[in-house]
Structure 1
Amino acid sequence: MDLGIIGQAAGLFAVTNIDDILILALFFARGAGHPGSTRRIVLGQYLGFTAILAVAVAAAFGATFLPESAVPYLGLLPLALGLKAARQAWKSHRNGAGDQEDTRAEPGGGPGALEVAAVTFANGGDNIGVYVPVFATAGIGGMTAYAVVFLVLVAVWCFAGRFFATRPVVARALARWGHVLLPLVLIGIGLLILVEGGAFGL
């Protein structure tokens, strides 16, 4: 594999996914203490990013599975998930800290794989627009190289998100404010995607 393409792919991934590290850290913080949450978050991140790659590759080959006019409406996904997370945080706050502690160790608690995948895919709507022309000019070999590097870096991003979420200072801050930050970040991303894309005439 050409080192030049590897470097270009790594740079392109980093530039287009830098915000995912914060989102992943919030997901990992929310999943702390829930058995299997790390596996579900990583699976969800891979599912979401694989969907982004599939759409970008299909579009590069000329198959328009996702009309350009529909991309801004992807913002509805993180917006809805953010509102849901805000509702859950409000319920937990009203029920008191004791009830929250009792539910943290329940199997299957924390973020679900499909929830993470939906946020990843919706947040990657802009990525598709960047990847398509790059893929279209890279050819089959170059496109394959980009895809391999991207998928390897998804694992690095997951590790980085978990690393930040488990640092003592960061972990304490996320444990204290994560239930507030996650809904705010998701709602903010959703609104940004909708407004920048001109959805609903915004």
Structure 2
Amino acid sequence: MELLTPALQAVGLFMVTNIDDIIVLSLFFARGAGSRGLTAKITAGQYLGFGGILAASVLVALGASAFLPEEAIPYFGLVPLALGLLAAWRAWRGEDDDDDDNGRTVSVLTVAAVTFANGGDNIGVYVPVFVTVGTAGIVAYSVVFLALVSVLVIAARFVATRKPVARVLERWESVLFPLVLIGLGVVILVEGGAFGL
């Protein structure tokens, strides 16, 4: 029973801080629909990005705040903002046409960058928790979090492949993908007070 409580707390904390990733990952699934190895790429990118979030949180909790000063976190919003603007530019120029399978690829590094940039709030939440639970608690939380990353990807794939959702995503993905990334970038910048906003 002693192990069950921290595990449930870890599940709750993960769900609260990562539920928004389902939308972003669903858009990645829609963007790369039909491309070979898509689920593996998105999974690898999500693990890479979340691994960065987890590593930064652990390092800061263990006293390495010089590694990632808190005031730097809001500037992570520049990553999805830039990726969103690039996607909007390509869609506007017609380089993101549905008939061109190569124009709609999803890369591991893009998924990782968006995941990490979207994780600034995660770091802000995880650090105080990690400081209070000690080393054994950090390990337990990390194991649960890493197990749940695959659940998150499965949930996003499930959402993206439901026929009504898939139809909407297929029709509007070229608009929604850049809008969500741009919006995400702006929210991260504004909520974090980047550039004095």
| TM-score, length basis structure 2 | 0.95
Partner of 1:90: 92
Tell me, yes or no, if the aligned pair for 2:45 and 2:112 is still in contact at 8 Å.
yes
Partner of 1:189: 184
Residues 35-58 of structure 1, C-alpha deviation per residue, up to 9 Å, x if partnerless? 122211111000000000000000
Partner of 1:24: 25
Partner of 1:123: 118
Describe how 1:170-189 pairs up with structure 2 within 5 A. Answer: 170-189=165-184
Aligned-pair distance for 1:127? 0.6
Give the 3-state SS of the residue equivalent to 1:7 in structure 2. Answer: helix
Partner of 2:3: 2
| Letter of the structure 1 residue corresponding to residue 172 of structure 2 | W
Aligned-pair distance for 1:79? 0.2
Change in 2 beyond 3 A, CA 1:193/1:84: same
Give the 3-state SS of the residue equivalent to 2:20 in structure 1. Answer: helix
Distance in 1, matches of 2:9 and 2:174, equals 36
| Letter of the structure 1 residue corresponding to residue 147 of structure 2 | V
- Gaps (5+ residues) in structure 1? none
Note if 1:149 corresponds to 2:149.
no
Tell me, yes or no, if the aligned pair for 2:96 and 2:104 is still in contact at 8 Å.
no
Runs of 4+ residues over 4 Å off in structure 1:
none
Distance in 1, matches of 2:11 and 2:35, equals 32
Aligned-pair distance for 1:16? 0.5
Q: Say how many residue pairs are matched.
A: 195
Distance in 2, matches of 1:183 and 1:149, equals 31
Partner of 1:75: 77
Distance in 2, matches of 1:188 and 1:166, equals 24
Distance in 1, matches of 2:104 and 2:183, equals 24
Aligned-pair distance for 1:196? 1.1
Tell me, yes or no, if the aligned pair for 1:37 and 1:109 is still in contact at 8 Å.
no
Distance in 2, matches of 1:96 and 1:132, equals 39
Tell me, yes or no, if the aligned pair for 2:96 and 2:174 is still in contact at 8 Å.
no
Give the 3-state SS of the residue equivalent to 2:105 in structure 1. Answer: coil
Tell me, yes or no, if the aligned pair for 1:61 and 1:136 is still in contact at 8 Å.
yes
Distance in 2, matches of 1:150 and 1:190, equals 24
Note if 1:12 corresponds to 2:7.
no
Aligned-pair distance for 1:109? 5.2
- Gaps (5+ residues) in structure 2? none
Aligned-pair distance for 1:91? 2.4
Residues 95-130 of structure 1, C-alpha deviation per residue, up to 9 Å, x if partnerless? 695xx31x22x4x95211111101000100011010
Partner of 1:200: 195
Distance in 2, matches of 1:194 and 1:71, equals 9
Aligned-pair distance for 1:2? 0.5
